[in-house]
Amino acid sequence: MRPPTHILVVNGIKVRRPVFVLAAPHSGADLLARALKRSPGFHVTMGRSSVTHVVHAFARRPSIARRGLGATRVLRDAMAEAWQILPGACVECPAACREAGNVTGAGPCVVSGTVARFGDASPDLIYSAQVLLQAFPDARFVQLIRDGRDVAADMMADPAALSWFRPAMLSDETEFPNAFLGVKSAEHVERWKAMSTAGKCALRWRGAVRLSAELHRELPREQLLTLRYEDMVASPAEALEALSRFLETPVSRISLYGRGVPRTGVWRTRLRAEDAALVEKVGREELTRLGYR
């Protein structure tokens, strides 16, 4: 049973039907956030510290996210802080968020009187999807799916993504199953530690994709849209038209053109044969189900 609806007010604006972008690492959430941030009426944040601290706490210890109204309030408050429209607010945003919003000064990136919809596309937001639904029962969720081999190739070139693979990330306090790292039980910890980086990237992708599948089964069609990264790259106009229909408001198309968006199939030239084989082995079921094999 869902908790009573709580009407959140940010800068005098009621938060209605907020938009949350969910994806595995390097699956295009930043590209979609760019399109939303540059669309009239939207205020979308990415990676504000108030949100990422909560999201990663929920991701690493899922039991925290199941603590009823307490977890809901914490995440709702984190979003409210991130969405504040104040002088100098954008200084606290990470570079990716500032660039996506075309911010060159201290901000804010939007004018309060022009905002009608709020949203967030922070990395790893997918691990808090259920709490977000409790906090914002009328929310709209957009999932992005990408070929796990391309995801692994991009993750292996990203120091921030690789920082999660330090052995210390699996401590005595780690809870299992752990979708964030893709480890099913404590019995698999030593195997995880001994696994190559490519394998760990594949496990993270697999864990996120399985959560996406669960949401696809649980959420009603009017609240969840799933897009393929490959479709967004090949036909951005069609992908964003589908998004506009889903959100019932126009979404900017121009932001996805001329950005040097990575092509699909990059794993063929960037992954060693043995790494590609391991990623395919770890993610075989999901790659097949999603049509990537």
Which pTM was predicted? 0.93
* Amino acid letter, residue 230: E
CA 77 to chain centre: 19
The answer, yes or no, to whether residue 56 has pLDDT greater than 70, is yes
Instruction: Kindly tell me if the per-residue pLDDT of 200 is higher than 90.
Output: yes
State the chain's maximal CA–CA distance in angstroms.
55
Pair 206, 288: CB distance under 8 Å: no
Task: Reply yes or no on whether the pLDDT at 230 is more than 80.
Answer: yes
pLDDT of residue 88: 78
Rounded to an integer, the average pLDDT of 230-242 is 91
Give pLDDT tens digits for 9-32.
998 999 999 999 999 999 999 999
Domain with CATH 3.40.50 in the chain: 1-146+221-262
How do beta strands 19-23 and 117-120 pair?
parallel
Taking 70 as the threshold, does the pLDDT of residue 273 lie above it? Answer: yes
Closest CA to 143 of 19, 253, 58, 293: 19
Residues 245-257 have a mean pLDDT of 85
Q: 3-state DSSP: the chain helix, strand, coil percent, rounded to 5? A: 55, 10, 35
- Paired tokens of 220: 């009603």
Tell me how far CA of residue 93 lies from CA of 44, 88, 90, 105, 256, in angstroms.
Answer: 11, 10, 5, 12, 21
pLDDT for 138 beyond 80: yes
Residues 6+ apart with CB under 8 A from 238: 231
Mean pLDDT value across the chain: 90
Closest CA to 156 of 73, 37, 278: 278
- Exposure string for 41-54, b = 16+ CB within 10 A, e = fewer: ebbbbbbbebbbeb
DSSP H helices in the chain: 29-37, 49-60, 62-65, 68-82, 95-100, 129-135, 148-155, 159-162, 189-194, 197-218, 229-234, 236-247, 267-270, 273-282, 284-289
Contacts of 182 (CB under 8 A, 6+ apart): 200, 202, 203, 204, 205, 206, 207
| CATH no., domain 1-146+221-262 | 3.40.50
